[in-house]
Amino acid sequence: MSFTVRGLAAAALLATTAMSAQAADLGYKKPGVLPALATFNPWMIRVRAIGVIGGGADRVTLGAPVNAIQNGLKVGASFVPELDITYFFTKNIAAELILGTSHHNIKTKNQLTTTTGVSGVGSTWVLPPTLTLQYHFTDFGAFKPYVGVGVNYTIFYGENPKQANGFTKLRIESAAGLAAQVGFDYMVNKNWGFNVDVKKLYLRPIAKTTFGGAVPVKAKVNLDPWILGVGVTYKF
């Protein structure tokens, strides 16, 4: 009996040795820790200097004839800082939210035809949060162009009528509109880059004021501003 047990043990030892040698011949290696995969961080931020260039109103509805504004209104440009936050769903598809506020003067279009000889109607602050869905092209190395479309909701606040020129109770209604976008990032390294961005907002708010303390004025303002920006990109 003991001879049989010793024989079986020897046979098992020989079989184990043979299997180990065969595994070594086949280049088998003991499993180890796999190298960590590079993680994809989806966040990007930009800080830009932007110019907001507005339009005006050609059709002004008056409670009575008022030469001071019958030729229409125009909205002045403004230059301000802006922050945007971008989230990448993939390396090509991203969503961008821009945050910034600007101050604009409202004037009559033709100062020479005003009855008072002045053109100021008032001023307002504008908060135009805009969300766009973007496609980023990634086949050009450090140069990374993109296009986008989205929506905008513009809030007007702090309206200030030019009372010295006869305007009172200035009010501009908040409005929603579409947005189109084109731009590029030029990455100088993995994280930092330079950005150029152009947006067109399609925005038609209603503006209301009173002239001379009695004459109501209402205008649908074809604002449709261009937002032109340059700035710095940081990719996390």
How much is the pLDDT for 164? 81
How much is the pLDDT for 113? 44
Read off the pLDDT of each residue in 175-192 and give the average, rounded to a whole number.
97
Is the pLDDT at 8 greater than 80? The verdict is no
Is the pLDDT at 122 greater than 70? The verdict is yes
Segment among 22-26, 61-65, 118-122, 192-196 with least mean pLDDT: 22-26
Segment among 49-58, 62-71, 191-200, 211-220 with least mean pLDDT: 62-71
Residues 89 and 96: their CA atoms lie apart, in Å, by 11
Answer with the residue of higher pLDDT: 104 or 107.
104
How much is the pLDDT for 23? 45
Among the CATH numbers 1.20.1270.10, 3.40.50.10420, 2.40.160.20, 1.10.357.10, which is that of 43-235? 2.40.160.20
Residues 62 and 81: their CA atoms lie apart, in Å, by 36
Is the pLDDT at 29 greater than 60? The verdict is no
Answer with the residue of higher pLDDT: 30 or 81.
81
Residues 16 and 9: their CA atoms lie apart, in Å, by 11
Q: Which three-class secondary structure string do you get for the chain?
A: CHHHHHHHHHHHHHHHHHHHHHHHHCCCCCCCCCCCCCCCCCEEEEEEEEEEECCEECCEEECCCCCCCCCCEEECCEEEEEEEEEEECCCCEEEEEEECCEEEEEEECCHHHCCCCCCEEEEEEEECCEEEEEEECCCCCCEEEEEEEEEEEEEEEEEEECHHHCEEEEEECCEEEEEEEEEEEEECCCCEEEEEEEEEEECCCEEEEEECCCEEEEEECECCCEEEEEEEEEEC
Is the pLDDT at 105 greater than 50? The verdict is yes
Is the pLDDT at 45 greater than 70? The verdict is yes
Average pLDDT score over the chain: 82
Of the chain, the percentage scoring pLDDT greater than 70 comes to 74
Confidence of residue 114 (pLDDT cuts 50, 70, 90): very low
How much is the pLDDT for 132? 98
User: At residue 196, what are phi and psi to the nearest 5 degrees?
Assistant: -125, 130
